[in-house]
């Protein structure tokens, strides 16, 4: 029978933890020193600098210190809040960085390639870079004017090549950056560079992608935040197309707001006589022409109807529903252009809502009798409809009424001749 061997008792002894099990201390200075030394050995040769960065990824912890890599490549060292570079450590700064490069676009393109290749090689750096840029852009007031220009040009290239989204620029909408036009000058440099590099179409596409076209006024200081200032400042930098895009977007938003207000007032059953001045004020304030307002009114009014499924009853029901809103339509359909726009809207609505196909002429005649649309405009529409939707069917529906209008017109003319 074999004797049981007792295990030795560990009394008072501390088990030594293996090194790899220990949580490494976060040491951005040490990481930066290693990075700076390698970049300095490249002696300003960006190809050699990239080769070092590529190889160093297997030795240095890029996942943990990605932010430090970008700080060093942009500013030459660790960025402190406010935009200054930390001078602690053995080798705190390198000259191989954007802030030390020439602001000429050739130099900027060379640096662009370092960033693009590095992020292709280490894909996880892409998300880190977007977060890094949100931080760096908040610091721009602490950078020298020429450094801001270089960073703006690089930001334009990074937006163009997809390294960062255009929306990253919204971090500049910050009170301390809006003062003294710091944020505005930066985005203007970004936009001008994008236009010069990729053309105005690419710039416009990027602004839409980042949903910036309707928010450009936010980059202006509060005391100068007006459409006139925006047009002047952007126009002076050759960015008239961006101003036009902004106005188009602002106009769309104004139309959406007018639609919302009208829907709300109709739901609240506000009297038509009180709705008219509200719409008039909004339209004038936002430069929305009457022919567009009348189309919005038609859309909102018809959306309120609950229609009978029996086609033979629908025309009468729709005319009755619409009759209560004719003063609202008439208030904005007082030009030939607005009347034609309304007739076109009625035509397209009846075509797109099949049950209304036979209701078209009844609705038009009702609006004629209510003095919303005039005889002259109906005759003009009949000669040359603006829309081809259901054109032949609706012309056929209107034939007898138009013949009556024409005969009445001829009788009127002959009566005048006899006088």
pLDDT-derived band at 409, boundaries 50, 70, 90: low
The answer to whether residue 263 sits within a structural domain is no
**Domains contained in the chain, number:** 3
Q: What percent of the chain has pLDDT over 90?
A: 72
User: How high is the pLDDT of residue 338?
Assistant: 95
pLDDT-derived band at 406, boundaries 50, 70, 90: confident
The answer to whether residue 362 sits within a structural domain is yes
User: pLDDT at residue 21 above 50?
Assistant: no
User: pLDDT at residue 13 above 90?
Assistant: no
The answer to whether residue 286 sits within a structural domain is no
- Scan for tokens 């900027």, then name that residue: 108
The answer on 159 and 36 residing in a single domain is yes
- Scan for tokens 């930098």, then name that residue: 237
User: How high is the pLDDT of residue 124?
Assistant: 93
User: pLDDT at residue 76 above 90?
Assistant: yes
The answer on 232 and 128 residing in a single domain is no
User: How high is the pLDDT of residue 140?
Assistant: 96
The answer on 133 and 198 residing in a single domain is no
Decide which of 164, 181, 214 is a domain's last residue.
Answer: 164
CA distance 189 to 236: 12
Domain of 54, in residue numbers: 26-164
User: How high is the pLDDT of residue 94?
Assistant: 94
The answer to whether residue 235 sits within a structural domain is yes
User: How high is the pLDDT of residue 9?
Assistant: 46
User: How high is the pLDDT of residue 2?
Assistant: 47
Decide which of 119, 146, 164 is a domain's last residue.
Answer: 164
The answer on 314 and 401 residing in a single domain is yes
Neighbours of 40 (CB within 10 A): 16
- The average confidence (pLDDT) of the chain is 89
**Do 393 and 348 meet the contact criterion of CB atoms below 8 Å apart?**
no
Greatest C-alpha distance within the chain: 145
User: How high is the pLDDT of residue 250?
Assistant: 81
Q: Which residues are bridge partners to 85 per DSSP?
A: 79
pLDDT-derived band at 3, boundaries 50, 70, 90: low
Higher pLDDT, 313 or 64: 64
The answer to whether residue 228 sits within a structural domain is yes
Q: Is the pTM of this model over 0.85?
A: no
Burial class (CB in 10 A: 0-12, 13-18, 19+), 323: middle
User: How high is the pLDDT of residue 11?
Assistant: 45
pLDDT-derived band at 370, boundaries 50, 70, 90: very high
User: pLDDT at residue 372 above 90?
Assistant: yes
Of 7-11, 109-113, 235-239, 328-332, which range is least confident? 7-11
**Do 377 and 334 meet the contact criterion of CB atoms below 8 Å apart?**
no
CA distance 79 to 84: 6
CA distance 206 to 227: 21
- Scan for tokens 């005391």, then name that residue: 223
The answer on 140 and 183 residing in a single domain is no
The answer on 152 and 31 residing in a single domain is yes
C-alpha triplet 275, 279, 283: angle, nearest 5°: 175
User: pLDDT at residue 408 above 90?
Assistant: no
The answer on 331 and 232 residing in a single domain is no
The answer on 330 and 367 residing in a single domain is yes
The answer to whether residue 279 sits within a structural domain is no
- Per-residue pLDDT averaged across 366-384, rounded? 93
Q: What is the pLDDT of residues 98-139, one digit of tens each?
A: 999 999 999 999 999 999 999 999 999 999 999 999 999 999
The answer to whether residue 274 sits within a structural domain is no
Q: What is the pLDDT of residues 209-224, one digit of tens each?
A: 999 988 999 999 988 8
- Scan for tokens 């802030």, then name that residue: 99
The answer on 155 and 210 residing in a single domain is no
**Do 151 and 113 meet the contact criterion of CB atoms below 8 Å apart?**
no
What CATH number is associated with residue 311?
Answer: 1.25.40.180
The answer on 122 and 33 residing in a single domain is yes
User: pLDDT at residue 5 above 60?
Assistant: no
pLDDT-derived band at 346, boundaries 50, 70, 90: very high
Neighbours of 400 (CB within 10 A): 10
List the structure tokens of 187.
């985005």
Of 231-245, 249-263, 303-317, which range is least confident? 303-317
pLDDT-derived band at 393, boundaries 50, 70, 90: very high
The answer on 48 and 120 residing in a single domain is yes
The answer to whether residue 13 sits within a structural domain is no
Decide which of 229, 249, 269 is a domain's last residue.
Answer: 249
The answer on 129 and 240 residing in a single domain is no
Q: What is the pLDDT of residues 171-203, one digit of tens each?
A: 999 999 998 899 999 999 999 999 999 999 999
**Do 401 and 381 meet the contact criterion of CB atoms below 8 Å apart?**
no
């Amino acid at each position: 029978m074999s004797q049981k061997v007792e295990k030795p008792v560990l009394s008072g002894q501390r088990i030594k933890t293996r090194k790899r099990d220990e949580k490494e201390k976060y040491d951005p200075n040490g990481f930066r020193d290693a990075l700076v030394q390698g970049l300095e050995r490249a002696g300003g040769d960006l190809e050699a600098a990239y080769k070092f960065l590529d190889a160093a990824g297997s030795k240095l912890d890029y996942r943990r210190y990605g932010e430090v890599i970008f700080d060093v490549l942009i500013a030459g060292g660790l960025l402190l809040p406010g935009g200054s570079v930390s001078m602690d450590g053995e080798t705190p700064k390198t000259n191989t960085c954007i802030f030390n490069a020439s602001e000429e676009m050739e130099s900027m393109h060379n640096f662009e390639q370092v960033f693009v290749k590095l992020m292709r090689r280490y894909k996880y750096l892409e998300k880190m870079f977007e977060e890094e840029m949100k931080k760096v852009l908040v610091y721009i007031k602490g950078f020298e004017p020429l450094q801001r220009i270089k960073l703006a040009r690089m930001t334009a290239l990074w937006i163009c090549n997809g390294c960062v989204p255009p929306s990253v620029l919204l971090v500049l909408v910050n009170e301390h950056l809006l003062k003294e036009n710091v944020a505005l000058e930066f985005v203007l440099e970004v936009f001008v560079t994008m236009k010069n590099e990729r053309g105005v179409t690419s710039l416009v596409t990027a602004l839409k992608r980042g949903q910036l076209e309707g928010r450009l006024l936010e980059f202006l200081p509060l005391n100068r935040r007006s459409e006139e200032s925006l047009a002047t400042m952007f126009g002076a930098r050759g960015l008239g197309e961006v101003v036009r895009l902004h106005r188009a977007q602002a106009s769309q938003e104004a139309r959406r707001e007018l639609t919302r207000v009208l829907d709300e007032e109709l739901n609240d059953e506000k009297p038509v006589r009180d709705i008219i001045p509200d719409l008039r004020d909004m339209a004038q304030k936002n430069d929305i022409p009457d022919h567009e307002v009348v189309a919005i009114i038609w859309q909102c009014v018809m959306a309120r109807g609950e229609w009978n499924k029996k086609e033979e009853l629908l025309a009468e029901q729709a005319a009755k529903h619409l009759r209560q809103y004719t003063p609202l339509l008439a208030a904005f359909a007082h030009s030939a252009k607005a009347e034609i726009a309304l007739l076109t809207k009625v035509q397209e609505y009846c075509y797109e809502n099949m049950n209304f196909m036979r209701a078209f002429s009844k609705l038009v005649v009702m609006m004629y009798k209510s003095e919303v649309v005039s005889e002259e405009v109906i005759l003009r529409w009949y000669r040359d409809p603006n829309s081809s939707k259901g054109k032949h069917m609706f012309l056929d529906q209107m034939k007898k009424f138009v013949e009556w209008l024409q005969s009445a017109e001829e009788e009127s003319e002959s009566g005048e001749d006899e006088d």
